[in-house]
Amino acid sequence: MSMAQLRKEQSKDIRTERNEIIRLEQRQSRRFTVNRRRTNDQQRQQVHRTSISDIFLRLAFPREPLN
């Protein structure tokens, strides 16, 4: 194998490895984004449920004025 072919093969291997690293980083980034969105959605839903529950309780059991 000539030096030119050897460099070409090494270059190809380096590109393949770099591309694999990029794919792994992108996959990890997507997982992070999905998990963050899921957490935010769950928190938002919990706040919404709590608000709705509070509203229904206030309607069901109105307080008398303190005066």
Q: Is the pTM of this model over 0.85?
A: no
Rounded to whole angstroms, how far apart are CA atoms 50 and 42? 12
Helices (H) and strands (E) in the chain, counts: 1, 0
Q: Is 58 exposed, middle or buried (0-12, 13-18, 19+ CB in 10 A)?
A: exposed
In tens, the pLDDT along 56-67 reads 999 998 887 766
Question: What pLDDT shows up at residue 1?
Answer: 73
